[in-house]
Structure 1
Amino acid sequence: MIHESPNSLAVPHIGGVNLSLEEVNHQAEIVSESALPEIAAPKSAPLWMPQRAVFTPAALEHQHGRDILARVEALGIEVEFPKSNRIMGLKKENERATYSTAKRTLAVVTSPPSYLKLQPIPPSADWQYHLAEGCPAHCQYCYLAGSLSGPPVVRVFANLEEILGNLPRYEDIKSPVARPRGFSPTSERGREDSTSFEVSCYTDPLGIEHLSGSLAASIRYFGTREKGFLRTVSKFDAVDGLLDLPHNGQSRFRFSINAVPVSSRLEGGTANVAARLQAARKMALPRERGGGDYPIGLVIAPIMPMDDWREHYSLLLDEAARALDFDCNLTFELITHRFTPGSKDVLLQWYPKTSLDLDESKREIKRNKFGGTKYVYPRETMKELKAWFFAEIEARFPNGKILYWT
């Protein structure tokens, strides 16, 4: 049997994205575990409004950077114009204070030159490219912890024309990393020569779209491509501005969802799951019914075997089935929770009062080809979880496609 401590997820939902770290941790202390909480009514996330926006000289050389500046100024956000292309003033007296300052800062910069040399990103896509890095949400299992250097400021890249203009040459380059079983280009376009591009590796593009406009530009761009196919994922729900874009079926819009004990307590500053599912419905509905007619996906992540996990995840899948009660182009991606020694250290500095279970003794060690270590659930636990999810998804979504399990 799979069993976790009943208190291993006792972390509250944070309703807005601009909370201080002290408020995050205070709420974590006062919320207790409840038995089988129901899926709540849809609750949208407030649009992220940084306390300040910093524009480097290089960013303002690009029209996209100047467009972002116009949006920011129209919203009354404090703007700074440093003389150099470095972002200063983020490091504070300790990691918690640094985190709080960084999470309230938007930096509009140009992307590092290395980002124009695309890297494969299995199992999600053939290639990854970046519109930004850093995220306005407060997920206490954050995948970016330990992955990005420096304070977790949200950096939006102003050289969008250069970033998009770099993509066509990768459409004909085979990714050097083999796709996992169950994933192929035909999952997206029904063509063997299509190439997929993931844009959500280092950020949640929808969470900053009202400031950046970069996601809409990407969707329009891929709508003109024959071989390139865009993949993005979000925990936010502000999709109305994307519904009428000419995507031409070339963008799959996925939403990350999870059971209530995870989503309501560990995913601060995001739309709740009910709101994300309603956004997925909007994106998938045909145009004649007021939707966006997009291919969509549900990313169930990170899967955690908390007490009564079958009941919690059954409620989640039932809610998803109700939201998507029509024929649509739907995929699933199933990702279990894992962490590294480095990410654990960072997360405990950001969220010292978190009750997220990071006990290595309950995990198995998995090593990559470079010698890196991550802690994953034991093999028998993974086997039990996988069998259950595959059976339950196939029962509710016979036309949905599970792309991978990891």
Structure 2
Amino acid sequence: MAPTRVWTPSRVLITRSASELPHTEEIIRRCEAAGVSDIEVLSGDRLTGLRGETERQTYALAKKTLAVVVAPASALKPQPIPPSADWRIDLAKGCPAHCQYCYLAGSLSGPPITRVYANIDDVLAGIGTHAGRGTITTGTAERGHEGTTFELSCYTDPLGIEHVTGSLSEAIARVGAGTYGDEVSLRFTTKFDDVTDLLTIDHGRRTRVRLSVNADDIANRFEGGTARMPARVEALRRLAVAGYRVGLTIAPIMPIPGWRDQYGRLLADVAEALRDVPDLDLTAEIITHRFTPSSKDVLLSWYPGTKLEMDEDSRTAKRNKFGGVKYVYPRETMSEMRTWFVDELESLLPQAQLLYWT
């Protein structure tokens, strides 16, 4: 199966400070090799010219743009990221995909361009300073074998931009070589399938790659610009055969008509793909669909014709200690889906460790 066509930006903006860093040379080399001709080094560190005349034009322009910037000091200190991992490390912020339920909506300011960080040494240094610290995997009975874990996909899909950045390969290689110690590991989730370059990295079994998977009706309707489900499942197999720890991020699950049949087929396809993989280390994370008032407003501005269900009256409002609210499925629906998924995983993928349901 041929890989899904990868995203290539129409233009690349490089801030002055980023232009002085060695990793930017690699990014420029990759962008030129991908056929990008509009590469501009800015006179300063402020990104300009990002907005169109309408919200839709701004969105379209942003999704064609890659900005190479220097991560500010505030972004260099790893942050706790339960229940996924001990800490969050950001190689970039922004994603080229067009998911109509986008997790980043409402959490990133300004047009949704993809910003990749040129000061990769500074970004990855947090792995060394935080090794041996953490409460999610470090020292726990359930996940202690993963060491101190660092999540790379909170604000981007690192594989979706890898062919024009090289940042993901660099991180995997350094951690695999033990640069930051032997008791650390990386994690990231992706909806893309072009994993060929990852297969030859000496990863030292210190990176877990999770494929984000969903029912066909949801993926085909709401996940634009991503790999289709059979390609993602095949990528999962290729990574597992290459010795990577792998996982499923089943998200966001929705109780659409026929959801049991569709998710059942998905899990059966995964089971078949992984059936004969030696030394398989497989996890599962299950996340139900939810939204906030602010994310709904942003999503409707990006995708005014979306058929995504975001009806507050059919949801339960869940408030956090800071007064924020998100809308989740009612308790009965959540309980029904959770029971089904736990049982189905045990039946079809008994080797999978369910890390959490939310």
Shorter-chain TM-score tier? over 0.9
Q: Report the residue type matching 2:113 in the other structure.
A: V
Deviations 1:181-222 (A, max 9, x none): xx985555527xx21100000000000000110001111121
* Pairing partner for 2:239 from 283, 291, 309: 283
Matches of 1:377 and 1:100 in 2, distance apart?
31
Matches of 2:324 and 2:56 in 1, distance apart?
26
Matches of 2:319 and 2:12 in 1, distance apart?
39
The offset of 1:76, in angstroms, is 3.0
- Which residue does 1:325 correspond to in 2? 275
Matches of 1:356 and 1:44 in 2, distance apart?
27
Alignment of 1:75-114 (within 5 A): 75-77=34-36, 78-114=38-74
- Which residue does 1:196 correspond to in 2? 149
Evaluate the alpha carbon distance shift between residue 107 and residue 61 of structure 1 in structure 2; reply closer, same or farther with a 3 A threshold: same
Contact preservation (8 Å) 2:15, 2:46: yes
- Which residue does 2:102 correspond to in 1? 142
The offset of 1:174, in angstroms, is 2.9
1:311 aligns with 2:261: yes
Count of residues in Structure 1 that have an aligned counterpart in Structure 2: 352
267-276 or 164-173, larger mean C-alpha shift: 164-173
Contact preservation (8 Å) 2:189, 2:212: yes
Contact preservation (8 Å) 1:55, 1:109: yes
Q: Which has the higher contact order (CA 8 A, sep 6+)?
A: 1
Gaps of 5+ in 1: 1-41, 286-291
Contact preservation (8 Å) 1:386, 1:405: yes
Gaps of 5+ in 2: none
Contact preservation (8 Å) 2:78, 2:126: no
The offset of 1:330, in angstroms, is 0.5
- Which residue does 1:127 correspond to in 2? 87
- Which residue does 2:247 correspond to in 1? 297
Runs of 4+ in 1 over 2 A off after TM superposition: 42-45, 73-76, 172-175, 183-191
SS at match of 2:252: strand
Contact preservation (8 Å) 2:19, 2:41: no
The offset of 1:227, in angstroms, is 1.6
TM-score by length of 2: 0.95
355-364 or 70-79, larger mean C-alpha shift: 70-79
- Which residue does 1:169 correspond to in 2? 129
Contact preservation (8 Å) 2:89, 2:126: no
The offset of 1:74, in angstroms, is 2.9
1:400 aligns with 2:352: yes
Matches of 2:194 and 2:106 in 1, distance apart?
28
The offset of 1:109, in angstroms, is 0.6
Q: Report the residue type matching 1:201 in the other structure.
A: C
SS at match of 1:387: helix
Matches of 2:273 and 2:158 in 1, distance apart?
23
Alignment of 1:7-406 (within 5 A): 44-77=3-36, 78-175=38-135, 179=136, 185=140, 187-188=142-143, 190=145, 194-223=147-176, 224=178, 225-285=181-241, 292-326=242-276, 327=278, 328-406=280-358
Matches of 1:111 and 1:336 in 2, distance apart?
31
